[in-house]
């Protein structure tokens, strides 16, 4: 049996003024043929899981290509055409395959195409015809569409946020593709969309945790293959944005509909509970300083580069400098100019620079600091978080600056902090710090919850703010809760 694998992954924040180009993909990931397997074998992600299951079953893998760019603004049409053409070309060159298994996200937006994954799945379906199983994984933040459901035989999504189950979902996707190819199952899907936006909500805590328990109850039904609560990606201004439930059963449409409708109703009744307490950076710092145990983690959720923000917001940084902290550290601000200045000055020198706040006016002004250059690194490390363990990350040349009692890591390439390795790379043992600040919404929890005395989330103006009514939506389907009152029951 021969099964093709590949993927195109992007989470598009349409409010960002930074377009996603072909160079954005080549910076992060743009692999073809055997390199796809070499890069992902043994890694805790979707493709890693697909490869593992195929090798367990001694299936011949046909690697097509894999592309991934850090979340940012809309994808340039020419970039998408290049990726899609290469995927389809490699599929044609592969000859007959028994199934296709893809790693996608579900919140990709291209210039002129609101639903990248629906478009891509449709193109792949046209190429392979109706008889070849097409299975794909989606991120929990997918804005799932009927076009995706119509084109694919089965779509599997993360249940967990942080997405520590990506490997498992990839493994399941390959397993289902094989079972379909052997004629042992016949997946049927049902998509139930809700007129609901929710801010980033970890499944480690209520209320998303309870929704997952409801999904698990339905999954105990014999013919239920997957029941997923997709949170949607609220920073995408397209008509299909929002929460949905997607069920996959083995040839049981009635069960798929009942489970999806029941879970959707359950989410709707809990909708108020998704509102989170809001603290400003200044309030968060004061709460952290009142703690007797350490380290206290402060996450700046509103500038989460994993959700398409610039990664150079200075709201929390400025508040930390103003508070004149001791034993505090921050990872990381993306500012290639400052990195170059620090490298030019050299380790051991003191520089005066304007740091951050350079991408747009929303994320704060540049902060003028006088700082000591403690060390310079290549910005490369291997992820140890349960989410993506084994992946090689490269944030470009990076430096550790010291301003008073605050250590600040500055990178050349933006990114979300998912584990402590960026601190380790720069010689920082966070367990010896009182206050550890980082840019992430929820993924950091997978690695930092066991290390933290307490986690405090702060929200300031930013493209991944928890305050969705601050976003200038133009194209989403209204009415939608919590922006509008909605009569859904
Ligand atoms: Zn996600």
CA distance 191 to 184: 23
Distance 47 CA to ligand 1 centre (A): 16
- In tens, the pLDDT along 403-448 reads 999 999 999 999 999 999 999 999 999 999 999 999 999 999 999 9
- What is the band of 477 on the pLDDT scale with cuts at 50, 70, 90? very high
Distance 103 CA to ligand 1 centre (A): 13
Distance 107 CA to ligand 1 centre (A): 9
Distance 243 CA to ligand 1 centre (A): 13
Distance 182 CA to ligand 1 centre (A): 32
For residue 129, the tally of other CB atoms under 10 A from its CB is 8
CA distance 324 to 336: 25
Distance 96 CA to ligand 1 centre (A): 33
Distance 117 CA to ligand 1 centre (A): 15
CA distance 329 to 432: 10
The per-residue pLDDT for 351 is 98
CA distance 422 to 425: 5
Distance 141 CA to ligand 1 centre (A): 5
280: CB partners within 8 A, 6+ apart = 319, 458, 459, 460
The rounded mean pLDDT for the chain is 97
- What is the band of 277 on the pLDDT scale with cuts at 50, 70, 90? confident
- In tens, the pLDDT along 194-211 reads 999 999 999 999 999 999
Average the pLDDT over 219-229 and give the result.
Answer: 98
What are the distances in angstroms from CA 358 to CA 336, 355, 400? Answer: 11, 8, 19
- Count of helices and strands (H, E) across the chain: 14, 19
Contact 348, 371 (CB under 8 A): no
For residue 292, the tally of other CB atoms under 10 A from its CB is 5
Query: Which residue(s) pair with 382 in the sheet?
Result: 392
Distance 163 CA to ligand 1 centre (A): 7
CA distance 21 to 40: 23
If you ran DSSP here, which 8-state letter would residue 74 be given? P
Distance 58 CA to ligand 1 centre (A): 31
234: CB partners within 8 A, 6+ apart = 197, 198, 199, 241, 242, 468, 471
Distance 142 CA to ligand 1 centre (A): 7
| pLDDT exceeds cutoff 90 at 488 | no
Distance 162 CA to ligand 1 centre (A): 8
- In tens, the pLDDT along 101-157 reads 999 999 999 999 999 999 999 999 999 999 999 999 999 999 999 999 999 999 999
Strand 60-68, strand 29-32: pairing: antiparallel
| pLDDT exceeds cutoff 80 at 489 | no
| Centroid of chain to Cα 10 | 9
Contact 359, 312 (CB under 8 A): yes
The per-residue pLDDT for 423 is 98
Distance 46 CA to ligand 1 centre (A): 12
């Amino acid at each position: 049996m021969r099964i093709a694998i590949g993927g195109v992954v992007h989470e598009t924040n349409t409010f960002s003024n930074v377009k996603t180009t072909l160079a954005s993909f080549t910076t992060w990931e743009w692999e073809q043929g055997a390199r796809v397997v070499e890069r992902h074998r043994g890694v805790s992600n979707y493709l890693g899981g697909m490869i593992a299951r195929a090798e367990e079953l001694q299936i011949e893998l046909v690697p097509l290509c894999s592309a991934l760019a850090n979340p940012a603004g809309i994808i340039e049409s020419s970039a998408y055409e290049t990726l899609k053409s290469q995927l389809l070309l490699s599929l044609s060159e592969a000859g007959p395959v028994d199934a296709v298994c893809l790693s996608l996200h579900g919140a990709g937006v291209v210039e002129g195409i609101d639903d990248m994954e629906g478009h891509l799945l449709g193109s792949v379906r046209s190429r392979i015809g109706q008889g070849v199983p097409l299975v794909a994984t989606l991120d929990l933040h997918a804005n799932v569409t009927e076009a995706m459901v119509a084109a694919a035989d089965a779509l599997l999504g993360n249940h967990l946020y942080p997405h520590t189950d990506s490997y498992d979902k990839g493994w399941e996707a390959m397993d289902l593709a094989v079972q379909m190819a052997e004629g042992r199952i016949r997946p049927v899907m049902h998509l139930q969309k809700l007129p609901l936006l929710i801010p980033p909500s970890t499944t480690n805590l209520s209320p998303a945790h309870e929704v997952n328990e409801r999904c698990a109850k339905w999954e105990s039904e014999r013919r239920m293959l997957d029941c997923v609560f997709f949170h949607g990606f609220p920073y995408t201004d397209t008509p299909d944005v929002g929460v949905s439930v997607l069920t996959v059963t083995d040839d049981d449409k009635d069960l798929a509909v009942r489970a999806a409708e029941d879970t959707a109703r359950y989410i709707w009744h809990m909708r108020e509970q998704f509102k989170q307490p809001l603290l400003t950076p200044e309030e968060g710092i004061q709460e952290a300083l009142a703690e007797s145990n350490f380290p206290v983690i402060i996450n700046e959720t509103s500038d989460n580069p994993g959700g398409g923000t610039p990664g150079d917001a200075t709201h929390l940084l400025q508040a930390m400098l103003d508070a004149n902290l001791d034993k505090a550290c921050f990872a990381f601000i993306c500012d290639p100019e400052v990195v170059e200045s620090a490298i030019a000055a050299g380790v051991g020198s003191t520089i005066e620079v304007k740091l951050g706040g350079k991408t747009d006016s929303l994320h704060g002004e540049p902060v003028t600091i006088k700082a000591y250059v403690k060390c310079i690194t290549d910005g490369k490390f291997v992820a140890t978080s349960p989410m993506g363990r084994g992946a090689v990350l490269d944030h470009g040349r990076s430096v550790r600056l010291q301003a008073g009692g605050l250590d600040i890591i500055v990178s050349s390439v933006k990114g979300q902090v998912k584990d402590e390795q960026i601190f380790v790379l720069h010689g920082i043992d966070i367990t010896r710090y009182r206050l550890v600040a980082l840019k992430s919404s929820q993924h950091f929890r997978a690695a930092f919850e066991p290390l933290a005395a307490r986690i405090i989330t702060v929200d300031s103006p930013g493209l991944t703010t928890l305050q969705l009514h601050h976003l200038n939506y133009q194209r989403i389907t209204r009415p939608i809760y919590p922006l509008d009152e909605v009569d859904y029951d």
